[in-house]
Amino acid sequence: MLILSFLLQAAPIVVTAPQPGAPQPPATMAYEPAAMLIATFDADGDARVTRAELEDGLAASFAAIDTARAETLGYIDFADWAERFLGDRNALPSPFEIDRDGDNRVSLRELQARFSEYFTRYDRDRDGMLTRAELLTIRARVFGDDGPPNDLKKRKPPRR
C-alpha cells in the first residue's frame, strides 16, 4: 500500500536540455488523477476550469457518494469516492491529508480546501483558470523506461 501510494504520487518534473546534436528524447505526458478529475469539472465546455467550477464539481461528486446526506465521508466511503472519481482507491490525495481536523471523516469543505491547493499549484500563470496544458504533467523520458539507448547497447571500440 505504501509503495503503491508512493508510485501514484506525482513524479517531479525534470526537463533536461538535449545534448547538442542529439535527437530530442520523447517526453512522457500524463495527467495525475487529481488533474484528470479537475479537467472533468469544466462545466461550460471551454476546456478551462475555474475555481467556481472546481467547487461545484467537487460538491456534485461528494453528493454522489454521500447518499445518506451525512455531510461527511468516512474513510471507506472516501475510498469509494476516490475509486469512482480518481480511478483508484489509493490515488492521491489520500484521506489522511484531506482530513485536516483529524476526526477520521472527510467533509466537503476539507475536500475543497485540498483541491484548492492543487488548483494553486497547477495554475502556473495565476490567471484563476486551469488549462489542459497546466494540468498536464510532462517529463523527459528517463533512462530505464525502455532499456538503455541503442548507442549504448551497440557501442563498439573505435577502429583506427
Question: Going by C-beta distance under 8 Å and a sequence separation of 6 or more, which residues neighbour residue 83?
Answer: 89
C-beta of 101 vs 146, nearer to Ca ion: 101
Give buried/exposed letters for 41-59 (b at 16+ CB in 10 A, else e). bbeeeeebbbbebbbebbe
How many residues at the interface with Ca ion, by CB under 5 A?
8
Q: Does residue number 136 form part of the binding site for Ca ion (CB under 5 A)?
A: no
* Closest residue by beta carbon to Ca ion: 99
Alpha carbon distance 28, 156 (integer Å): 30
45 DSSP assignment: S
Residue 99 CB, shortest distance to Ca ion, in Å, is: 4
Among the residue ranges 8-16, 33-41, 123-131, 145-153, the one whose residues contact Ca ion (CB under 5 A): 123-131
Residue 70 CB, shortest distance to Ca ion, in Å, is: 12
C-alpha cell of residue 125: 500563470
Within positions 80 to 109, which residues make up the interface with Ca ion, using CB under 5 A? 99, 101, 103, 105
C-beta of 30 vs 129, nearer to Ca ion: 129
Residue 87 zone, left/alpha/beta (φ > 0; ψ -120 to 50; rest): left
Residue 5 CB, shortest distance to Ca ion, in Å, is: 19
- For residue 56, the number of C-alpha atoms closer than 13 Å in the C-beta half-sphere is 11
Residue 10 CB, shortest distance to Ca ion, in Å, is: 18
Residue 109 CB, shortest distance to Ca ion, in Å, is: 9
Angle separating helix axes 75-85 and 51-65, nearest 10 degrees = 120
Residues at the contact surface with Ca ion, assessed by CB under 5 A: 99, 101, 103, 105, 123, 125, 127, 129
